[in-house]
């Protein structure tokens, strides 16, 4: 087995045509979304919320991928080499998300407080909780922090992809060693930026509410999203004839185990957040959950408990579901849907106080951001090999079997 | 040191996985080396000295416990406003230490980290001994120790139940479940090795005792098949326990409305801190132990280095949690919460706070240096600092918040009594006494498991010298 060489496969022309389809869908979604958003006559307030949910969804997939790639280098993993390139491409696809996210920050700088209410001086004035942190929740400082977070994510993702791609032709162990050495500081930068990024972008939507575990909850959801996406991308590519010689059921089994582990972890951290706030019962904290148990939002909360944790936990527990690829793919689709529901549940109650309402505009925004994101993903994949063919641990990954 | 130099060279060469143990290439040598520790007629002189000190301290512990029970909990420093003092500080400290063993045997097993085989047995033993030290505190602090079993819910004619909504009751379940599963896991792993010891016994007594606990193990293929299945199941069951025990311990504080205690990051942050302190204790103990008992080829520098990396990672998580807590205390805008944190850093307990920050956040950063994380005595220095720091972390959390709560007229300054200090010293003695006895009477390294990761265990017929290693 160890002498086996893998042929270089890339998306090539098919990637370009998939990218074009995605772009057309994206632009159509954008046009429809903008039209539906303006038709509401609320100064694009609801549209901005929908746009934020979509941006965060695709951003979180890249952030989950970034975590996966960094940790593979950090622990010198061997099994994952064949599935790592797809993850690297997903992780590097943050520039497009930054560009899609930027209009929201520009609107904020122009004085639009429909998304982040702390930008409105009238809201802050007379509220001691908000006045105390007015220097921190300040549009320009906020924009600067966003630049910093996205800068870290873009640089990390690009660097990991570039060094790994270099190895495809050079057949050289040096990039592996360099990636291993720098994975640890990269992880530090990642942890800080994701933790505080989640506080800034998501938690300040409700500026008087704070929870120290919030960043960890967002991280857990992101990693679930990535593993689900990774399983689906690999199934999609294999169904179209790519990577058939390299990725097998053993690799899916391991991705399924990680999906299971992070479903469990998500349940653990979400329960910690909910239970501690419920138990202490302090009104300055409980209002956040009260909003999410008000009207039809309560249904969404219950859907998350069972759909995001209990059912997938039970379903993924068995070895058979992780090795039956059809079942695993179904669960991956399920988890991606639940991840979208979770982000909707995190963002939208500030805009839809009375109950959970999904509109055509939410779907349009999702297609818009998703289409453009997948277009960029296909371009990034481009002529690159879909497997890190020069990685010194490739033979180990090809021969990998779960004992 | 040439052997370890080769290992280092292998790490620079990603085309092959380095060997996990050095020197001992065949199964017989591993057995010989590990059993040799128990079979030599007399242990080294340092063992006697260590046992003399630690058993004296254990005696001190028993004296203090008797004194406490005879006199009452008033002999401890717990008093208004700090009703929780060293008793719970030490309980949480020891429960934290108890986390390394299960992490190594369960989580690292599920993650296929085969290097764990050289250290898991000793680490699991430390887990059990630390749980003994921890479990002692809730039992002796109840005042009327003869009714300590009331901690457990059991049907009784008085219709008296513990409060099911109290995390203190959850603790009873979490810690006792953890102790049970860890003990089972440890004992099950020991069975094949006990059979080895039985078969090598030179006296009838040893043969009977080891034979009794070896449960009739003969090493047949069916035994091994069931052993491995049971091992996987216990690993999967123990994994959530690694998270649950210290999460529940953190609930003791976080469910309350006390400033500095009520924060949602507590569960994962306590778990990271527990693993941090547990690994530090394993390093502190294993470095002298491998020197003393000649196990350097089985517990290599690389094993120690890997543990130090886990210490660095978990220490950094703890640092991230500290900074998050501090930031949110400010950001949340609650003046009491802000005060609690400013009080920690600049109030009367600032000395404890800065010891904690130095030991837990600064000290592990030395492990970024390969030199320090591969030098046995330097790493012990850092690991001891971490142990000190993690004790202070619990002290800072518990005492600073209680000594200055919402009512300034009720503020105070907690001081431990000599009984507090002697009891804690006594638990350290108990821990080391049990560990030294373990070193002398049970195999410190999991013989059968280490054999499983030797190249010879993966030899293919066409490559009799050993094949690829997936470690």
- Chain A residue closest in CA terms to B314: A188
| pLDDT average, residue stretch A308-326 | 96
Give the other-Cβ count within 10 Å of B325's Cβ. 20
User: Are A282 and B262 a contacting pair at CB < 8 A?
Assistant: yes
Residue A399 in domain: no
Query: Smallest CA–CA separation between B161 and chain A, in Å?
Result: 20
Cis previous bond, B81, omega within 30: yes
Contact status of A337 with chain B (Cβ, < 8 Å): no
Contact status of A188 with chain B (Cβ, < 8 Å): yes
User: Are B331 and A216 a contacting pair at CB < 8 A?
Assistant: no
- Cβ contacts (< 8 Å) between A215 and chain B: which residues? 324
pLDDT digits (tens, 9 = 90+) for A215-249: 999 999 999 999 999 999 999 999 999 999 999 99
Q: How far apart are CA A59 and CA A94, in angstroms?
A: 7
In this prediction, residue B271 carries a pLDDT of 95
Residue A62's pLDDT band (cuts 50, 70, 90): very high
pLDDT digits (tens, 9 = 90+) for B409-434: 999 999 999 999 999 999 999 999 99
Contact status of B272 with chain A (Cβ, < 8 Å): no
Domain that holds residue A85: 3-394
SS (H, E, C) B412-442: CCCCCCHHHHHHHHHHHHHHHHHHHHHHHHC
| pLDDT average, residue stretch A368-393 | 94
Query: Smallest CA–CA separation between B109 and chain A, in Å?
Result: 12
Residue A217 in domain: yes
Query: What is the Cα Rg of chain A in Å?
Result: 21
| pLDDT average, residue stretch B57-84 | 93
The alpha carbon dihedral of A160, A162, A164, A165 has a sign of positive
pLDDT digits (tens, 9 = 90+) for B242-253: 899 999 999 999
Residue A291 in domain: yes
Residue A145 in domain: yes
Query: Smallest CA–CA separation between A324 and chain B, in Å?
Result: 21
Q: Which residues touch B51 (CB under 8 Å, ≥6 apart)? A: B433, B436, B437
For residue B328, give the nearest of A180, A208, A212 by CB distance. A212
For residue B320, give the nearest of A177, A191, A199 by CB distance. A191
For residue A273, give the nearest of B256, B264, B333 by CB distance. B264
- Chain B residue closest in CA terms to A216: B265
Q: How far apart are CA B379 and CA B339, in angstroms?
A: 36
In this prediction, residue B124 carries a pLDDT of 93
CB A256 within 8 A of CB A316: yes
Res. B466: pLDDT tops 50: no
- Chain B residue closest in CA terms to A188: B316
- Altogether, the residues listed in chain B come to a count of 471
Region of residue B144 (left: phi > 0; alpha: psi -120 to 50; beta: else): beta
Determine the residue among B111, B260, B265 to mutate to test chain A binding: the one whose Cβ has the most chain A Cβ atoms within 10 Å.
Answer: B265
CB B124 within 8 A of CB B186: yes
Size of interface A-B (CB pairs under 8 A): 99
User: Are A276 and B15 a contacting pair at CB < 8 A?
Assistant: no
| pLDDT average, residue stretch A368-395 | 94
Global pTM reads 0.94
In this prediction, residue B383 carries a pLDDT of 96
Res. B332: pLDDT tops 60: yes
pLDDT digits (tens, 9 = 90+) for A101-152: 999 999 999 999 999 999 999 999 999 999 989 999 999 999 999 999 999 9
User: Are A192 and B320 a contacting pair at CB < 8 A?
Assistant: yes
Residue B467 phi, psi (nearest 5): -105, -155
Give the other-Cβ count within 10 Å of A180's Cβ. 17
Q: How far apart are CA B470 and CA B114, in angstroms?
A: 9
Residue A403 in domain: no
Determine the residue among A135, A210, A263, A275 to mutate to test chain B binding: the one whose Cβ has the most chain B Cβ atoms within 10 Å.
Answer: A210
Res. B462: pLDDT tops 90: no
User: Are B334 and A284 a contacting pair at CB < 8 A?
Assistant: yes
Contact status of A392 with chain B (Cβ, < 8 Å): yes
Helices (DSSP H) in A209-359: which residue ranges?
214-239, 249-280, 283-292, 297-303, 311-317, 319-323, 325-347
For chain A, the straight-line distance linking the first and the last C-alpha, in angstroms and rounded, comes to: 17
- Chain B residue closest in CA terms to A173: B14
Long-range contacts of B372-380 (CB under 8 A, 24+ apart): B373/B304, B373/B305, B373/B308, B373/B309, B373/B312, B374/B301, B374/B304, B374/B305, B376/B287, B376/B291, B376/B301, B376/B304, B377/B287, B379/B283, B379/B287, B379/B304, B379/B308, B380/B283, B380/B284, B380/B287, B380/B288
C-alpha distances in Å from residue A320, one per residue of A261, A316, B101, B239: 16, 9, 30, 20
**Mean pLDDT of chain A, nearest integer:** 94
- Cβ contacts (< 8 Å) between B334 and chain A: which residues? 284
- Cβ contacts (< 8 Å) between B267 and chain A: which residues? 213, 268-269, 272, 276
Scanning B100-129 for CB atoms below 8 A from A yields: 112
Determine the residue among A136, A145, A207, A212 to mutate to test chain B binding: the one whose Cβ has the most chain B Cβ atoms within 10 Å.
Answer: A212
- Chain B residue closest in CA terms to A128: B333
Give the other-Cβ count within 10 Å of B320's Cβ. 21
Residue A114 in domain: yes
ipTM of predicted assembly, 2 dp: 0.93
User: Are A216 and B320 a contacting pair at CB < 8 A?
Assistant: no
* Helical pair B167-200 and B204-213, crossing angle rounded to 10 deg: 140
User: Are A210 and B331 a contacting pair at CB < 8 A?
Assistant: yes
Residue B3's pLDDT band (cuts 50, 70, 90): very low
Residue A401 in domain: no
In this prediction, residue B465 carries a pLDDT of 45
- Tell me which residue of A351, A223, A381, A359 sits closest to A291, measured CA to CA: A351
**Number of folded domains that form chain A:** 1
CB B17 within 8 A of CB B468: yes
- Altogether, the residues listed in chain A come to a count of 403
**Mean pLDDT of chain B, nearest integer:** 90
Bigger pLDDT: A8 vs B442: B442
Bigger pLDDT: A194 vs B465: A194
pLDDT digits (tens, 9 = 90+) for B26-47: 888 888 888 888 888 888 999 9
CB A69 within 8 A of CB A159: no
User: Are B320 and A195 a contacting pair at CB < 8 A?
Assistant: yes
Res. B300: pLDDT tops 80: yes
Write down all domains in chain B, each with its CATH number in brackets.
3-143+167-459 (1.20.1630.10)
Q: How far apart are CA B65 and CA B68, in angstroms?
A: 5
For residue A272, give the nearest of B267, B330, B368 by CB distance. B267
Contact status of A279 with chain B (Cβ, < 8 Å): yes
Long-range contacts of A277-285 (CB under 8 A, 24+ apart): A277/A211, A277/B264, A279/B255, A280/B254, A280/B255, A280/B256, A280/B257, A280/B262, A282/B257, A282/B262, A284/A208, A284/A209, A284/B334, A285/A209, A285/A211
Res. B285: pLDDT tops 60: yes
- Cβ contacts (< 8 Å) between A262 and chain B: which residues? none
Res. B8: pLDDT tops 60: no
Contact status of B266 with chain A (Cβ, < 8 Å): yes
In this prediction, residue B24 carries a pLDDT of 59
Contact status of B28 with chain A (Cβ, < 8 Å): no
User: Are A276 and B254 a contacting pair at CB < 8 A?
Assistant: yes
Q: How far apart are CA B105 and CA B110, in angstroms?
A: 9
- Chain A residue closest in CA terms to B240: A264
Q: Which helix (H) or strand (E) holds B244?
A: helix B221-254
Give me the percent of chain B exceeding a pLDDT of 90: 68
Query: Smallest CA–CA separation between A210 and chain B, in Å?
Result: 6
């Amino acid at each position: 087995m160890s002498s086996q060489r893998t042929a270089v496969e890339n998306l090539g022309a098919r990637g370009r045509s998939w990218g074009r389809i995605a772009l057309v869908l994206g632009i159509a979604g954008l046009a429809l979304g903008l039209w539906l958003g303006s038709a509401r006559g609320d100064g694009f307030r609801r549209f901005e919320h929908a746009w934020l949910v979509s941006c965060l969804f695709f951003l979180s997939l890249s952030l989950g991928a970034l975590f996966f790639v960094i940790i593979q280098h950090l622990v010198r993993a061997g099994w994952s080499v064949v599935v790592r390139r797809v993850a690297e491409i997903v992780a590097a696809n943050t520039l497009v998300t930054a560009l899609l996210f930027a209009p929201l920050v520009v609107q904020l700088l122009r004085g639009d407080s429909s998304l982040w209410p702390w930008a409105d001086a009238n809201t802050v004035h007379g509220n001691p909780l908000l006045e105390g942190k007015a220097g921190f929740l300040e549009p320009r400082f906020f924009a600067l922090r966003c630049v910093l977070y996205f800068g870290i994510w873009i640089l990390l993702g690009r660097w990991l992809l570039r060094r790994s791609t270099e190895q495809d032709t050079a057949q050289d162990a040096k990039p592996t060693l360099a990636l291993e050495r720098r994975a640890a500081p990269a992880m530090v930068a990642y942890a800080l930026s994701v933790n505080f990024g989640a506080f800034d972008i998501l938690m300040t939507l409700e500026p008087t509410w704070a929870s120290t575990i919030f960043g960890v909850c967002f991280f857990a959801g992101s990693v679930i999203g990535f593993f689900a996406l990774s399983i689906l991308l690999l199934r999609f590519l294999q169904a179209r004839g790519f990577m058939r010689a390299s990725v097998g059921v053993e690799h899916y089994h391991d991705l399924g185990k990680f999906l299971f582990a992070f479903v469990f972890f998500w349940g653990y951290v979400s329960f910690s957040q909910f239970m501690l706030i419920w138990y202490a019962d302090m009104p300055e904290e409980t209002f956040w959950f009260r909003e999410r148990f008000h009207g039809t939002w309560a249904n969404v909360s219950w859907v998350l408990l069972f759909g995001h944790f209990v059912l997938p936990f039970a379903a993924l527990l068995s070895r058979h579901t992780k090795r039956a690829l059809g079942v695993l793919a179904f669960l991956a689709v399920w988890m991606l849907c639940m991840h979208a529901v979770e982000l909707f549940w995190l963002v939208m109650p500030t805009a839809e106080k009375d109950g959970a309402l999904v509109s055509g505009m939410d779907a349009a925004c999702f297609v818009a951001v998703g289409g453009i994101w997948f277009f960029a993903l296909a371009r990034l994949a481009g002529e690159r090999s879909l497997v890190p063919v020069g990685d010194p641990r490739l033979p180990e990954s090809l021969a990998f079997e779960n004992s | 040191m040439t052997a370890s130099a080769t290992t280092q060279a292998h790490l620079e060469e990603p085309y092959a996985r380095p060997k996990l143990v050095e020197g001992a290439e065949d199964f017989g040598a591993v057995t010989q080396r590990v059993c040799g520790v128990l079979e030599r007629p007399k242990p080294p002189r340092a063992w006697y000295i260590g046992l003399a000190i630690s058993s004296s301290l254990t005696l001190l512990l028993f004296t203090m416990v008797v004194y406490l029970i005879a006199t009452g909990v008033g002999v401890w420093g717990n008093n208004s406003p700090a009703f929780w003092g060293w008793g719970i500080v030490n309980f949480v400290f020891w429960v934290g230490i108890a986390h390394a063993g299960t992490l190594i045997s369960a989580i690292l097993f599920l993650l296929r980290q085969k290097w764990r085989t050289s250290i898991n047995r000793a680490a699991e033993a430390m887990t059990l001994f630390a749980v003994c030290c921890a479990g002692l505190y809730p039992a002796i602090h109840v005042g009327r120790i003869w009714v300590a079993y009331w901690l457990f819910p059991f049907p009784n004619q008085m219709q008296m139940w513990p409060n099911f909504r109290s995390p203190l009751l959850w603790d009873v379940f979490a810690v006792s479940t953890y102790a049970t599963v860890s003990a089972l896991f440890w004992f099950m792993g020991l069975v094949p090795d006990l059979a080895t010891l039985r078969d090598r016994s030179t006296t009838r007594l040893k043969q009977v005792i080891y034979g009794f606990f070896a449960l009739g193990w003969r090493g047949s293929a069916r035994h091994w098949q069931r052993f491995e299945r049971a091992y996987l199941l216990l690993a999967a069951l123990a994994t959530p326990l690694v998270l649950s025990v210290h999460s529940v311990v953190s609930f003791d504080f976080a469910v309350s409305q006390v400033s500095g205690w009520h924060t949602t990051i507590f569960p994962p942050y306590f778990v990271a801190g527990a693993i941090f302190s547990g690994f530090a204790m394993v390093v502190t103990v294993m470095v002298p132990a491998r020197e003393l008992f000649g196990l350097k080829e089985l517990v290599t520098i690389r094993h120690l280095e890997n543990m130090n990396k886990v210490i660095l990672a978990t220490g950094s998580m703890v640092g991230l949690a500290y900074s998050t807590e501090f930031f949110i205390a400010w950001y949340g805008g609650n003046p009491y919460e802000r005060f609690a944190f400013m009080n920690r850093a600049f109030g009367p307990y600032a000395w404890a706070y800065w010891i904690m920050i130095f030991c837990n956040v600064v000290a592990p950063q030395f492990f970024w240096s390969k030199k320090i994380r591969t030098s046995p005595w330097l790493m012990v220095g850092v690991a001891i600092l971490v142990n000190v720091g993690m004790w202070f972390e619990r002290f800072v959390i518990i005492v600073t918040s209680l000594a200055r709560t919402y009512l300034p007229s009720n503020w105070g300054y907690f001081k431990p009594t000599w009984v507090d200090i002697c009891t804690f010293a006594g638990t350290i003695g108990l821990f080391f006494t049990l560990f030294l006895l373990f070193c002398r009477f049970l195999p410190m390294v999991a013989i059968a498991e280490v054999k499983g990761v030797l190249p010879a265990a993966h030899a293919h017929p066409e490559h009799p010298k050993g094949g690829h290693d997936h470690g």
